[in-house]
Structure 1
Amino acid sequence: MKRRVFLALTGAGVLTACARPGVLGLAPNTTLIIVRHGDRTGENLNAIGRARAQALVGALEGTHVDAIYSPSVQRNLDTAQPLATDRDLPINRLPANGMAERLITASAGKTVVWVGNKGNLREIWEALGAGGEPPLNYGDLFIVTSNRFGMLQVDRRQHGPDV
Structure 2
Amino acid sequence: MEVNPQELIAILQDKIALYEHLGITVAEISASRVRFKVSLEKNRNHKGTAFGGSLYASGVLAAYALALAGLKAHQIPTENIVIAKGEIQYLRPVDTDFEVVSEFRSAQEQEDFFKTLNATGRVRGMIRTQILGEGGSLKASLLGDFVVKL
TM-score using structure 2 length: 0.29
Q: Pick 1 or 2: higher relative contact order, CA cutoff 8 A, min separation 6.
A: 1
TM-score using structure 1 length: 0.27
Which of the pair has more CA radius of gyration?
1
Larger strand fraction of residues: 2
